[in-house]
Amino acid sequence: MLKIAVIGGDGTGPEVVAEGLKVLDAVAKKHRFQYTLTRFDFGGARYLRTGDVLPEGAVEELRAFDAIYLGAIGHPDVPPGVLEKGILLELRFRLDQYINLRPVKLYEGVDCPLKDKGPADIDFVVVRENTEDLYVGSGGFAHKGTDMEVATQIMLATYVGVERCVRYAFELTRKRNRRKLLTLVAKTNVLTFAHDLWWRVFNQVAKEYPDVKTDYNHVDACCMWMVKSPELYDVIVTPNMFGDIITDLGAMIQGGMGIASGGNINPGGVSMYEPIGGSAPKYTGKNVINPLAAIGALAMLLRHSGKLAQAADDVDAAVMKVVKRLKSLSAGKMGYSTTEVGTMVAESL
Ligand code: IPM
Ligand code: MG
């Protein structure tokens, strides 16, 4: 029995999650597995109503689930950072989901903005460290509001945090068994402390994986190569902040936010899967958002939840089929509504 916690969240989150759950129902029937859904109303609406971001005990309650399926967090009526830090980062950190796994894969039939690149050229995975770096919220203000104001925001890297992330990336590169190439993306020429640690740990762990080739890119060069020669990449490992930035770029070269999925992974605990785009307030409630990213996140959830790899492959295959029938992957331009696309995926199972 697969126990899934569902957080629809804000904006278009609930709409795309509903389509994912439609697909879950179809794939569970086909593969004869059982699941339960427990819904949580965390998000902007709840915050505006009650004044709390996460209720007391929420994290402990979520620990009892096999996985969390998340739509999106972020609300136009709430100041930036409140929900993002209070819900999304709080769950990532407290559940120790130290890997943010973001595949970048161009499907057959998807219009690639990089003309001349095809599905064979764009197929890599970004392993983004997910609990450290500039995201820890360490720092502060002095003399706030005066012309003497100083603000600091600390880039934090720990040996343990870097090592477990780098090790996960080496294991994944070996398991993918594609080009067997792992690229560290950092900025060692400027961030000579934090990224020196990354560099040393990367090379140290590499010794245990003689079958995996390694490479290094500065993050700015990586942005260039992702557009110019994405075929160079197999697996990328990178700190949290750079991972955030380069995976938006990755989402674009695979066809857009409509198809980009991600997993916040704690290999020994509860993981959380989400479409990587935001809550898209301007499309909320219009039945126009593309649910394929959320459906892809569902496939990741199934793949990482023990024995359901075949079910996950089937969902991915169904997505690949449906992708070819859409006019575009962008919201409002698919030629179908959100619910129609979800139904098409469910039916092709
Ligand atoms: C992402 C998002 C989040 C992040 C925001 C909403 C806090 O951009 O999942 O990539 O920066 O991690
Ligand atoms: Mg982001």
DSSP code at position 279: -
Residue 88 lies in a domain: yes
Q: Do the beta carbons of residue 168 and residue 97 sit within 8 Å? A: no
Helices 338-347, 292-304: axis angle to 10 degrees equals 40
Give distance in angstroms: CA of 210 to centre of ligand 2. 33
| Ligand minimally distant from the alpha carbon of residue 133 | 1
Residue 105 inside a domain? The answer is: no
Question: How confident is the model at residue 235, as a pLDDT?
Answer: 98
Euclidean distance between CA atoms 170 and 154, whole angstroms: 27
Domain match, 245 and 281 both: no
Same domain, 336 and 263: yes
**Same domain for 243 and 335?**
no
**pLDDT at residue 101 is higher than 90:** yes
Ligand 1 in contact with 231 (CB < 6 A)? no
Residues 133 and 192 in one domain: yes
Q: What is the mean pLDDT of residues 251-255?
A: 96
Angle, CA 226 vertex, CA 98 and CA 333 arms, to 5°: 90
- The predicted-structure confidence for 214-247, as pLDDT tens digits, reads as follows 999 999 999 999 999 999 999 999 999 999 999 9
The average pLDDT across 27-40 equals: 98
236, 254, 272 — which closes off a domain? Answer: 254
**Residue pLDDT, tens place only, 135-172:** 999 999 999 999 999 999 999 999 999 999 999 999 99
Best mutation site among 10, 101, 153, 244 for ligand 1 pocket (most ligand atoms within 8 Å of CB):
244
Let me know whether 70 and 23 are in one domain.
yes
How many domains is the chain built from? 2
With bands split at pLDDT 50, 70 and 90, how would you rate the model's confidence at 194? very high
Q: Which domain holds residue 235?
A: 112-254
- Identify the residue whose C-alpha is closest to ligand 1 atom 8: 244
Report the distance separating Cα 266 and Cα 237, nearest Å.
16
d(CA 235, CA 216): 11
Q: Is 244 a pocket residue for ligand 1 (Cβ < 6 Å)?
A: yes
Question: What percent of the chain has pLDDT above 70?
Answer: 100
Distance of CA 161 from the midpoint of ligand 2 (Å): 20
Q: 135 CA distance to ligand 2 centroid (A)?
A: 12
CA of 245 to the centre of ligand 2 (A): 6
pLDDT of residue 306: 82
Q: Is the domain of 175 the same as that of 295?
A: no
CA distances from 162 to 109, 113, 189 (A): 37, 34, 18
Last residue of a domain, one of 254, 277, 300: 254
The 3-class secondary structure across 215-269, one letter per residue, is EEEEHHHHHHHHHHCHHHCCEEEECHHHHHHHHHHHHHHCCCHHHCEEEEECCCC
Residue ranges in 65-139 assigned as alpha helix (H): 82-83, 90-94
30 with 91, same domain? yes
Residues 143 and 228 in one domain: yes
Q: Could you tell me if residue 106 is inside a domain?
A: no
104 within a domain of the structure (yes/no)? no
Residues paired with 67 in a beta bridge:
4, 271
Whether residue 232 is found in the same domain as residue 281: no
Q: Give me the chain's average pLDDT, please.
A: 97
- Is 103 a domain residue? no
Residue 74 CA: nearest ligand 1 atom is: 6
For range 13-36, the mean pLDDT? 98
Instruction: Report which protein residue has its CA nearest ligand 1's atom 11.
Output: 244
Single residue among 207, 227, 254 that ends a domain in this structure: 254
Q: Are residues 74 and 11 in the same domain?
A: yes
Closest-CA residue to 97 (of 240, 232, 216): 240
**Atom of ligand 1 at shortest range from CA of 262:** 9
**How does pLDDT run across 265-287, given as a tens digit for each residue?**
999 999 999 999 989 999 999 99
Q: Is residue 107 in a domain?
A: no
Task: Report how far ligand 1's centroid is from the alpha carbon of 244 (Å).
Answer: 6
Atom 10 of ligand 1, residue of closest alpha carbon: 244
CATH code (residue 279): 3.40.718.10
Q: Supply the DSSP string of 134-184, one letter for each residue.
A: GGG--EEEESTTSTT-EEEE--B--HHHHHHHHHHHHHHHHHHTSS-EEEE
pLDDT at 172: 98
**Does the Cβ of 272 fall within 6 Å of ligand 1?**
no
Active site residues: 135, 187, 220, 244, 248
- Ligand 1 neighbour 90 (Cβ under 6 A): no
Q: What is the dihedral of CA 304, 319, 113, 179, to 10 degrees?
A: 40
Q: How does pLDDT run across 282-334, given as a tens digit for each residue?
A: 999 999 999 999 999 999 999 999 889 999 999 999 999 999 999 999 999 99
Among protein residues, the one whose CA lies closest to atom 5 of ligand 1: 84
Say which ligand is closest to the CA of 129. Answer: 1
Q: Decide whether any atom of ligand 1 lies within 6 Å of the 84 Cβ.
A: yes
pLDDT of 88 reads: 97
CA of 347 to the centre of ligand 2 (A): 31
- 205 and 80 assigned to the same domain: no
Instruction: Identify whether 48 is part of a domain.
Output: yes
| Domain identity same for 151 and 61 | no
For ligand 1, atom 12, which residue shows the shortest CA distance?
244
